Amino acid sequence: MGPIAPCRACRGGPRGLSQLPSHSLHQSGASGRGRLGHLAPGAAPRAAPRGAAPRAAPGWYVFGKRAGQQPRAAEVSRGPCEGPELPSTPTPSTPAQRLQPCSTDGGPSSRHRLLLAQAWPQRRRASLPSPNSPKMPEAWLSYPGDRPALLAGSKDGGSERAGPRPSPTGVTMLRSWALVPLAWGPSPPSSVDPSGRSPPPCPQAWSHRAAGTFCLSLPHVGLLSPVLGTLGGHRASPQAPPAFSPTLCGSQGRSVPRWAGPGSPAPSASSVLSVGPAGCSQEGAPSQAPPSQPWPIEPGPADLTPASGSCCLLSLLPAHLSRVMALRAGEHSQEAANGLKEKVLTLDSMNPYVRRVEYAVRGPIVQRALELEQELRQGVKKPFTEVIRANIGDAQAMGQIPITFPRQVLALCVHPDLLNSPDFPDDAKRRAERILQACGGHSLGAYSISAGVQMIREDVARYIERRDGGIPADPNNIFLSTGASDAIVTVLKLLVTGEGRTRTGVLIPIPQYPLYSAALAEFNAVQVDYYLDEERAWALDVAELRRALRQARDHCRPRALCVINPGNPTGQVQTRECIEDVIRFAYEEKLFLLADEVYQDNVYAESSQFHSFKKVLTEMGPPYAAQQELASFHSISKGYMGECGFRGGYVEVVNMDAAVKQQMQKLRSVRLCPPTPGQVLLDVAVSPPAPSDPSFPRFQAQERRAVLAELAAKAKLTEQVFNEAPGIRCNPVQGAMYSFPRVQLPPRAVQRAQELGLAPDMFFCLRLLEETGICVVPGSGFGQREGTYHFRMTILPPMEKLRPLLEKLSQFHAKFTREYS
C-alpha cells in the first residue's frame, strides 16, 4: 500500500488506513493531483477548493486493476476522482461493465483477489461456473427487478473465500460473495454509446487509467455493511444500523440520486442527494427509505474480464443477507475495530470446500417453510392452515405409523427389564436376547466393533444371499453405517485423490440426489454429470455415459460411476439389460461402481422388478464377476420401515483390494461405531419374523404389505393427477418415494425469476409455498437439462391429504400460468 497523506480535515498527522474511518480512499492519478468533494450529512456534494483538505463520506473501498495493467498501491491523495457517469436508466443494450481483480493489499505476492462486476440489465440468467473449472467463462449477472446488481467475491488458488479479512495495512477487505442491487440516476449520460460499446472516459479519468487501478466506494448499508467489511474501526451496528443515502460519483462533481424503493418514480434530473442518514436529501426533505424485505440472491463465483475503463464510486442499496453471516461478520468487524485478536476460525480461514457444499433437500425453501410454520403458530393469517412438507422422504414425519415388531425388539434391547413383561411376543424377546448377547457387556449402550455388531453383519449377509438367489455374501465385506449416506461418503473419501487435472471425477446421474454433489464439493472432487433420458421414463443410456466420460477426461480423472436404482428423485427402476450395459461400461473404462439401492423394497409398477448390481454382476460371470469393483448401499430409512431418525444402513463391497479394505476399516474405526439402536433396527429389517413366528401375521399382512400397497396407490394417483393438469407432465413413478414432474413455465415467469436472481423453478416453488403451504424441492436443486423445469414431491402424505394436495398444486400451476401469460 502506498503512502498515506496527512489528514488536515481531522486535525491529525499522517494516519494508517485503520485510522481513517470517515475518509474516502482514492488512488492517485499519474500527476498525483486532484481533489475530493466534502459530503456532509444533509448537504449537497460539492467540490473542495484546490489545496483544501480532502474530506468525504464514510465508506468501504476496494482496489483492482484494469486490463493489461499491473496492480499498484493506492494512497490517500488530492487527485481527480471524476470518471464517466454511469447509465442512470437501465438499457438492455448496455453491456455489463466488468472489472479485473487485483491485489487486495497492494503487494505483488498476494494471492488474494477481489472480483467485482457492475452489470446493467441483460435479461439473462447468471451462469456461475465452478471455481475449479479448467476455464471459467464470463458470467452475466442476474439482478432484482429492473435494477443492476453487483457481484462481489474473491478467489484464492481456485477456491472461493468468504468473509472480511484484515490486510497488513489495516484495511478489512471484502471477502464475501454477495449479489446486491445498485442505484442509478435519472437518465443515461450522453457518453454512453447505445450500441453497447464502452463509454469513453471523461478527461479527468485518464490519469486513473494510466495509474492502472480503480476505486470503489461501498457506502454504509446497514446489515450489509459488516458483511462487506469495514475501513478500520468504522462499522455499522447490526442491531440498529444507520442507513446512508448512497451516491454515485460522476463527472463534474455531480452525484446520482439514490433509489427510493419499489414502485417509486424515478427521481428528477435535478435531484442531488448527499451521503447522509436515510431519509435525508439535499434539501433536507425526507425521502422514502429503502425496502426492508430481502431480495432473493444467488451467490457464486465469476471470472470477470474488463469491458470498460470507467472509474467510479458504486453505491449499494441495503440487502438483507443471511442473519448468521451478518452476525458473524459483525462480530469479526467489531473485534477488528476494538483491536482484539481475530478469531482463529472464520469464514475466511475455514475449509473453503465446506462452503461450497449445497443440499437442496434442506435448502432455503425448507427454511422458509419452517418460518411459515412459526408464523402460523403465532396466529399470523395465511391462505392455508398448515405447511405440508412434501420435500423429503421421511415417512413417519408424514404420518406413517412405525412397524410394530422392530419397535418391540428395540424397546426390549434398550430396556431389558421388559423381557419379563407379558406385553411382548416371544419372538421379539428371543430376538432381543440374541442381539444383547452379541453386544459388549450385553448392553446396547456399549460400543460395537467399528464395522458393526458381528452377528448383525452375518444377518445382513444372509439377507443378501436370499435376495440374490443364493449368491454368497461375506460378512467381512459388509460394513454397518450411520445410514446409507455415511457409507457413501466413506467410499467416496477412499476414491478421491489428485489436484488440478488429476482430480478424481465421479459420474453421477442428473437429476441426482444432492448428497453426491455435496460430498464431491466437500472433497474437492469433480462432479461429472450424465443425464437420464426423461423421454424414456428416465432411462439410463450408456451412450450418454460415454459422452460424459469423454468430456470429463479433458479436465479430471474419472474413477467412479454412481447409479441410483430405484431412482431418486426420478422414481425409475432400471431394467436388467440396462444394469448389464452399465457394468460392461464400467469394466471397460476402469470405473469403480457405486450402486445406491436404498429404495430396493419400493417398487410399485407391475412391469418393474428390482435387480441388485451384485446379483447381475455375479451372474454375468468372468471377467466382470471376478474383477469389477462395486459398493452397494442399503438403509432402514426407506422401504416399508421408514426409520429415518435411527440412522441405520450398510455397504457391501465386492472385489475391493484387500489393502484398501483395511484402510476402509481404519477409516471406520476413527468414528468408533454406528449407533447401536440403528443396528438393531437394521437386523430386524434384514431378518423379519418368519411365517412360523407369532408376530408374522401382523408384521407381514397388516403392516408391511399395507404400507407398500398404499405407496403403490399413491404413486399411481400422483402420476394420474399431474398428467391430467395442463402444463404438467409426470413420468410413471415406478419406485422410490417421489414424483419428479416437469412443469411448463411462461416466458414472463422465467423472466421475472431471472430479475429476482432465482432459478425459474425455485421462483415457482417459493410462490407455491407462500400461497398454498405446499413445500416441494425445485428441480434445479437436483440438476436438470437446460430449459426444463421440475420439482420433486414425495408421495408419502396420507391418502386423505395427498389427493387435495395434488389438486391444489395443479390449480396453483394453472393460476400461476394465467398470471404470467
The per-residue pLDDT for range 441-450, each reduced to its tens digit, is 888 888 888 8
Is pLDDT above 60 for 529?
yes
The per-residue pLDDT for range 31-53, each reduced to its tens digit, is 333 222 222 333 333 344 444 43
Burial 737-776 (b: 16+ CB within 10 A, else e): bbbbbbbebbeebbebbbbbbbbbbbbbbbbbbeebbbbb
Mean pLDDT confidence for 299-327: 33
Cβ-contact 628, 588 below 8 angstroms: no
Cβ-contact 605, 731 below 8 angstroms: no
pLDDT the model gives residue 429: 93
Label residue 2 by pLDDT band (50, 70, 90). very low
- Report residue 387 as a C-alpha cell: 405447511
Cβ count within 10 A of residue 38: 18
Cβ-contact 262, 189 below 8 angstroms: no
How many Å apart are CA 821 and CA 815, to the nearest integer? 10
Cβ count within 10 A of residue 606: 8
Q: Cβ contacts of residue 313 below 8 Å, gap of 6+?
A: 24, 59, 81, 215, 216, 217, 247, 248, 249
Is pLDDT above 60 for 239?
no
How many Å apart are CA 761 and CA 781, to the nearest integer? 9
Q: What are the CB-based long-range contacts (under 8 Å, 24+) for 546-553?
A: 546/585, 548/507, 549/507, 549/589, 552/505, 552/507, 552/526, 552/528
How many Å apart are CA 149 and CA 121, to the nearest integer? 8
The per-residue pLDDT for range 651-679, each reduced to its tens digit, is 999 999 999 999 899 888 888 889 999 99
How many Å apart are CA 425 and CA 431, to the nearest integer? 10
Q: Supply φ then ψ for residue 153, to 5 degrees.
A: 180, -170
- Report residue 746 as a C-alpha cell: 411462461
Task: Write down the mean pLDDT value for the chain.
Answer: 66
Alpha carbon 740 to chain centroid distance?
20
pLDDT the model gives residue 334: 58
- Report residue 185 as a C-alpha cell: 440516476
Label residue 364 by pLDDT band (50, 70, 90). confident
Cβ-contact 94, 184 below 8 angstroms: no
Is pLDDT above 60 for 120?
no
How many Å apart are CA 415 and CA 403, to the nearest integer? 19
pLDDT the model gives residue 393: 82
| Three-state DSSP state, 336 | helix
Is pLDDT above 90 for 509?
yes
Alpha carbon 588 to chain centroid distance?
34
Cβ count within 10 A of residue 139: 22
pLDDT the model gives residue 614: 94
Is pLDDT above 70 for 434?
yes
- Report residue 779 as a C-alpha cell: 428441480
Report percent pLDDT > 90 for the chain. 32
How many Å apart are CA 295 and CA 282, to the nearest integer? 28
pLDDT the model gives residue 345: 83
Cβ count within 10 A of residue 112: 20
Is pLDDT above 70 for 518?
yes
Burial 371-386 (b: 16+ CB within 10 A, else e): ebeeebeeeeeeeeee
- CA torsion sign for 729, 733, 739, 740 is negative
Is pLDDT above 80 for 373?
yes
pLDDT the model gives residue 92: 33
Label residue 576 by pLDDT band (50, 70, 90). very high
Structural domain spans, the chain: 57-65+115-122+139-186+203-248+307-356
Label residue 238 by pLDDT band (50, 70, 90). very low
Mean pLDDT confidence for 392-416: 89
- Report residue 368 as a C-alpha cell: 422458509
pLDDT the model gives residue 369: 86
pLDDT the model gives residue 230: 28
| Three-state DSSP state, 701 | helix
Q: Cβ contacts of residue 622 below 8 Å, gap of 6+?
A: none
Alpha carbon 626 to chain centroid distance?
40
Q: Supply φ then ψ for residue 616, to 5 degrees.
A: -65, -45
Cβ-contact 451, 472 below 8 angstroms: no
Is pLDDT above 60 for 543?
yes
To 5 degrees, how large is the angle CA 328–CA 331–CA 332? 85
How many Å apart are CA 89 and CA 265, to the nearest integer? 12
Is pLDDT above 60 for 213?
no
The per-residue pLDDT for range 687-742, each reduced to its tens digit, is 999 999 999 999 988 898 999 999 999 999 999 999 999 999 999 999 998 999 99
Which has the closest alpha carbon to 216: 182, 267, 242? Answer: 182
The per-residue pLDDT for range 442-488, each reduced to its tens digit, is 888 888 888 889 999 999 999 999 999 999 999 999 999 988 899 99
How many Å apart are CA 286 and CA 292, to the nearest integer? 17
| Three-state DSSP state, 479 | strand
How many Å apart are CA 754 and CA 67, to the nearest integer? 29
Q: Supply φ then ψ for residue 101, to 5 degrees.
A: -75, 155
Mean pLDDT confidence for 5-28: 31
Is pLDDT above 60 for 108?
no
Label residue 301 by pLDDT band (50, 70, 90). very low
pLDDT the model gives residue 330: 55
How many Å apart are CA 135 and CA 248, to the nearest integer? 34
The per-residue pLDDT for range 138-190, each reduced to its tens digit, is 222 222 333 333 333 333 333 333 333 333 322 222 222 233 333 323 333 33
Burial 621-648 (b: 16+ CB within 10 A, else e): eeebbeebbbbbbbbbbbbbbbbbebbb
Cβ count within 10 A of residue 663: 12
Is pLDDT above 60 for 752?
yes
Label residue 340 by pLDDT band (50, 70, 90). low
Length of the chain: 821
Is pLDDT above 80 for 521?
yes
How many Å apart are CA 337 and CA 232, to the nearest integer? 6
pLDDT the model gives residue 730: 93
Alpha carbon 77 to chain centroid distance?
42
Label residue 331 by pLDDT band (50, 70, 90). low
Mean pLDDT confidence for 547-564: 93
Which has the closest alpha carbon to 50: 80, 30, 24? Answer: 80
To 5 degrees, how large is the angle CA 54–CA 87–CA 298? 95
- Report residue 652 as a C-alpha cell: 457391501
Which pTM value belongs to this model? 0.60
What is the widest separation between alpha-carbon atoms in the chain? 101
Mean pLDDT confidence for 363-369: 81
Label residue 339 by pLDDT band (50, 70, 90). low
How many Å apart are CA 463 and CA 601, to the nearest integer? 13
Comparing 5 with 645, which gets the higher pLDDT? 645
Alpha helices by DSSP H, 523-654: 542-552, 576-588, 613-619, 624-627
How many Å apart are CA 76 and CA 26, to the nearest integer? 5
